[in-house]
Structure 1
Amino acid sequence: MTDAELAADIAAEAGKLLVALQKSGLSGQALCNAGDLQANNLILARLRAERPGEAILSEESADDLSRLTRSRVWIIDPLDGTREFGEGRDDWAVHVALAIDGEPAIGAVALPALGITLSSDAPPPLRPAHNPPRMLVSRTRPSQLCANVCGMIGAETITMGSAGAKAMAVVRGEAEIYLHSGGQHQWDNCAPAAVALAAGLHVSRIDGSPIIYNKESSAIPDLLICRSEFAECVLAAV
């Protein structure tokens, strides 16, 4: 399989495991812990079998900083939106990405509760943009910056759970803007960024600079994924 095919296959397989876990009788924190652990184990096993020796950065594993010497680094979030997963919602995701020389080159985002996996090698065509634009914000921690930008550009607000679900909502044409300023990590947005870029969307930090992956710190403080026609006005408002 190509890297993109592998990423999509692994994300989809982990998603099926997680959906099965939701039906297993587990609930609450026990369900969330099992989801994080089992999905991570599955993804690591697949990558080590299919791409032996390549570097991996996962939210659920200790960080091996030898990755900093590598050109290719797999960046994964086995369960993005653990709270939503535990609550039985559909706005959670699985992220499998490959950063090459710091760029989000390959990515797949599974939305298992919807039975969908979006990949950087086959993004859906963009639908016509909605005007006024719709902006996705956190359903539990919406920032004041997002509220201010929404008001300045006249956007409608949509609340949603995981970063992957929000980013893919823009890719799928359910919204035009995903603005985040509350702090994230590389695994939160590498796969979504790869899919969004492949779909022709704007992806950057909120100062307009590109996001660089495989840095020593996993932190990425902010993110903008949006339709290209809205990027200038959103960045100006920020």
Structure 2
Amino acid sequence: MNDREVARRVALGAGKVLVALRESSGASGRALGAQGDRASQAYIRRALARLRPDDPILSEESADDRRRLHAGRVWIVDPLDGTREYSEGRADWAVHVALVVDGEPVAGAVALPAYGRVRVSGPAPAGTPCPNPDLTILVSRTRPPEEAARVAARLGAVLVPMGSAGAKTMAVVEGAAHAYLHAGGQYEWDSCAPVAVARAAGLFVARLDGSRPIYNQPNPWMPDLLVCRAEVAARILEALEVAQRPGTRLNGHAVAH
């Protein structure tokens, strides 16, 4: 079984565990979210121990295994991306499973269990064209970044809030939006699997300064990310550069820094 299939099977299986738990548990709110985190983490750890026993794991829901820093292959997982959305009964949550080799996500899967589908990294055709004529940028529903508001003002874009980094990235892959822009705080597990899938689909992926995200770092903090259609990447990066310049005025209004 190749690594992409491992990622797909593990993400799909964890998603089934989460759906069953939400349907059967009498818990709600934070208690349900905590149960979901634990159940999905336990499933993923067991599955990877069986399928790839020699590979370390970096996960949001477990202690950092520092062996990963000296390993050629590391699995980076988020057992439940969008715990708040999951606990609220929403659909925009995901399971992330990705394999990183020498800092690069080489295989990944993002399961969207509430929608009944899973996206896997390549081989994949170019992403579906976005039918919306207005430039649409997805942002966090709880922490929409100021950078996105500045870009939207510069480009006349529409900001659409959505939960889960995985759900937002897959919406761009599937053509429901042009871009996903995040700033202000994330970790490697929030974006690793979505980045693997997005790159395989031909999307542009970068940090907000335009640099390439590198994974399996000693500190897994990765606070910002841009995933977008290739045809709008230059416009968004230019707007980000302008928006971050001291004294910039957007649509006649001075930008505070």
TM-score using structure 2 length: 0.90
- In the TM superposition, 1:1-238 aligns within 5 A as 1-24=1-24, 25-123=26-124, 125-129=126-130, 130-238=132-240
CA drift of 1:104 comes to: 1.1
CA contact (8 A) 2:125 2:202 kept: no
Looking at structure 1, the residues matched to 97 and 8 of structure 2 have their Cα atoms a distance apart, in angstroms, of: 7
CA drift of 1:151 comes to: 1.2
CA drift of 1:18 comes to: 0.3
The range that moved more, 177-186 or 24-33, is 24-33
CA drift of 1:6 comes to: 0.8
CA contact (8 A) 1:136 1:175 kept: yes
- Unmatched 5+ stretches in structure 1: none
Closer/same/farther in 2, CA of residues 212 and 66 from structure 1, 3 Å limit: same
Closer/same/farther in 2, CA of residues 118 and 124 from structure 1, 3 Å limit: farther
Q: Give the secondary structure class of the aligned counterpart of 2:57.
A: strand
Q: Give the secondary structure class of the aligned counterpart of 1:140.
A: coil
Identity of aligned pairs, percent?
Answer: 56
CA drift of 1:105 comes to: 0.9
Q: Give the secondary structure class of the aligned counterpart of 1:214.
A: coil
The residue type equivalent to 1:114 in the other structure is Y
The range that moved more, 75-84 or 61-70, is 61-70
Task: Report the aligned-residue RMSD.
Answer: 1.0
The residue type equivalent to 2:154 in the other structure is M
CA contact (8 A) 1:124 1:171 kept: no
Q: Give the secondary structure class of the aligned counterpart of 1:212.
A: coil
CA deviations on 1:22-74 (whole Å, 9 max, x unpaired) are: 11122122211110001001001000111112111000000011111111100
TM-score using structure 1 length: 0.97
Looking at structure 2, the residues matched to 81 and 123 of structure 1 have their Cα atoms a distance apart, in angstroms, of: 25
Q: Give the secondary structure class of the aligned counterpart of 2:31.
A: helix
CA drift of 1:123 comes to: 4.0
Q: Give the secondary structure class of the aligned counterpart of 2:127.
A: coil
The residue type equivalent to 2:30 in the other structure is Q
Q: Give the secondary structure class of the aligned counterpart of 1:191.
A: helix
The residue type equivalent to 1:190 in the other structure is C
Looking at structure 1, the residues matched to 150 and 36 of structure 2 have their Cα atoms a distance apart, in angstroms, of: 36
CA contact (8 A) 1:152 1:237 kept: yes
Looking at structure 2, the residues matched to 131 and 231 of structure 1 have their Cα atoms a distance apart, in angstroms, of: 16
Select the structure of larger CA radius of gyration: 2
- Unmatched 5+ stretches in structure 2: 241-257
CA contact (8 A) 1:124 1:172 kept: no
